[in-house]
Structure 1
Amino acid sequence: MTSAATTLRVGLVGTGAWASDTHAAALCAHPGTDLVGVWGRRPEAAAEIAGRHGTRVYEDVDELFAACDAVAFAVPPDVQAPLAARAAAAGCHLLLDKPLATSVEAAREVVEATRKAGVASVVFFTLRFAGATSHWLDRQAAEGGWFTARADWYGALYSPGDASEQVTSPWRVGRGALWDVGPHALSVLLPVLGDVTSVTAARGPADTVHLVLSHASGASATATLSLTTPARAAGIFVELRGTSGVVSIPSGGASVDAYGGAIGALLESVRSGRPHACDAGFALRVTEILTSAETCLG
């Protein structure tokens, strides 16, 4: 196990803007990590990111794993899951993106691989690692007494003429808001209200999905998830109602700063040997809930 005094050698899997501008930037800036290499399915793009961040490109992903203590992933979920299981089997700790996978079987394979290898894992649910929102969630979980909640993600991703990587991503286009922003909604509801005991789902306009959730605490919650909201109606809204009154989540801050928080969480989990609350096991549970919702939609 890596000691607290050791810098974690981290490899990056992914070649998109998210990989470069958030993952690589945060890994280079963090004092506890050393970005030792990049691998991607597009070798030229991988070489460009490696050059931009002063590291080397790997042509073979297993060679990257062999050179690392940990691997950060910035690839589609169904590419991420088998590679993550492979990295864990090679003895690498995992810094994963959400959703972990879009099938329960693939997500479970990652969890089993981490447990068998004894490696740490952290999944980057943005608001769980942004300073203001993570502290807010901790306070509300400690407060308790919540009656109902709503967690609404209204994204305006598909603006006319926008041909960005995020808009054209095949997995995002194919899976829609349920799988792209649904994990964010669940990541803030579960730590406060407890596990989901039942879920009902209904379709709205375009890719919009409405969820009704029952939680182990006895509270209920709703979530509206959309990537196709009109631009002037977009926004994120999380609200809790209970014995303490009505509270709303604060703004989350920059993604690169939140990713730095996720890096710190992985370092602490490696140092202490204790699983983080947002580990692969938690992400598996999110995949199970989203799969149940997808089944409801038919």
Structure 2
Amino acid sequence: TVPSLLGWKRAKARARAAELLELVGLDPHTYGRRYPEQLSGGQRQRVGVARALAADPPVLLMDEPFGAVDPVVREQLQDEFLRMQAAVRKTVLLVTHDIEEAVRLGDRIAVYGEGRIEQFDTPGAVLGAPATGYVASFVGADRGLKRLSVTEIEPDDLEQPPVARVDEPAERAARRLRAEGARWAVVLDTGGDLRGWVGIDELAAGGAVGDLVHRMTAWVPVGAPLKQAFGVMLQHDAGWVAVLDGARFLGVLTPAKLHEALRRSVDADAQGVARGQVSFDSVSDA
């Protein structure tokens, strides 16, 4: 419709429509000839985004774009929006009353209240250092938890646990763990890729470490938000999660290190410096 209103030829308009349907995750051969009443709510929302992009505008205004769908579809649409934004790189002004949606999707957040812009800043700064009482009440008392969604895992946040290699004799690995006072080790291959973990008691069986390894289920990629790591810890009842760069093992994130990363992130925003430049005393330092 939009290209037609702009005078595009029919073939060009249809090609653009098919291109955008694919971009928003709808097969043009399946959905291209359907009418709105033949689509679900989530599919209609996707078509609405495609229509807004049809004429390739430099700026998009999206007013509560995901407000009329259930929470599951809403999260799926947000994922699609982030994927699409990474591909088309548009400036989008997105209006929402959902602070978690704003934090997840926005590069900058403008909090409007009391007839003016109360704060305009990054999601992390809005959550970590609310400029006014209105902003503090708007983002909520649980803003520290919300900040987990916008604080990424960095290599400096990680601890280095004991390591065993897949081709290492189990007896030798057990001796080293006993000397270090450790009860388990992360198992890596010769290239540094994660293969799993092994306990010191299992190493008594002898053979090679690779024959005794357990699959690692609690892991996240580097750069993932702290919220994802926290969720994996809870899901697997784990005291730590492995952090990977592809398959390469970087270290483990513990609850103490997660808390430290969150504190560093808040302080870094407040001081206007990088997280690595922030130092403070922690319980583990005492």
- Tell whether the structures are fold-level matches, with TM greater than 0.5: no
Q: Which has the higher strand share?
A: 1
* Bin of the TM-score, shorter chain as denominator length: under 0.3
- The one of the two structures with greater contact order (alpha-carbon pairs below 8 A, sep at least 6) is 1
Task: Provide TM-score, normalisation by structure 2.
Answer: 0.24
Structure with the greater alpha carbon radius of gyration: 2
